[in-house]
């Protein structure tokens, strides 16, 4: 007895994922209905972007469902990595996100984001079996986090006039 390509376990999961994306797009579209559509600057209203995102999600989800129902992703490579999730890595990444949220008003945007980056990279490095706990690696990760967060902070505060919490009142850090 042979099974059709559309009834394999992988294509069933792919169909469920596609349907979930379609439902997410429909839910976003339902939420966009309540946003006023009065055109603002540039001729578009505040509901324009939610409608675009909803339409793209429905379209992409529909294409995923169609692909899954017609045989699945035939050119899909087998997944890499371990067979099971490595939970300590999730703990490292989650700790970074939670500490970022908890400390952003105390440490400021740049330092809290650098801490988040450093903890997340520690978790990812450890999950891959790389050297992670040495002082040099930690310093490089924190410096990289600051190198990413500082320009983001500067662009948001100076170009977009969005107030992000800083460590000092000068607006530059």
The pLDDT tens digits of the residues spanning 68-126 come to: 999 877 777 877 777 777 889 899 999 999 999 998 888 888 999 999 999 999 999 98
Question: What are the respective helix, strand and coil percentages of the chain, to the nearest 5?
Answer: 70, 0, 30
Rounded to two decimals, the pTM is 0.58
pLDDT in tens, 126-153: 888 888 889 999 999 999 999 999 998 8
């Amino acid at each position: 007895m042979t099974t059709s390509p559309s009834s394999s376990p992988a294509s069933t999961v792919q169909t469920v994922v596609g349907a979930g994306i379609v439902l997410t797009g429909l839910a976003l579209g339902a939420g966009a209905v309540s946003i006023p559509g009065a055109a603002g600057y540039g001729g578009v209203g505040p509901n324009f972007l939610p409608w675009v995102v909803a339409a793209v999600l429905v379209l992409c989800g529909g294409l995923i469902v169609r692909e899954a129902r017609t045989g699945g992703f035939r050119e899909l490579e087998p997944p890499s990595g371990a067979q099971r999730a490595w939970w300590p890595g999730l703990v490292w990444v989650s700790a970074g996100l939670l500490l970022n949220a908890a400390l952003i008003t105390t440490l400021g945007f740049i330092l809290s984001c650098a801490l988040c980056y450093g903890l997340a990279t520690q978790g990812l490095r450890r999950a891959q079996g790389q050297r992670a706990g040495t002082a040099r690696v930690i310093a490089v990760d924190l410096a990289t986090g600051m190198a990413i967060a500082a320009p983001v902070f500067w662009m948001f505060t100076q170009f977009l006039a969005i107030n992000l919490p800083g460590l000092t009142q000068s607006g530059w850090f």
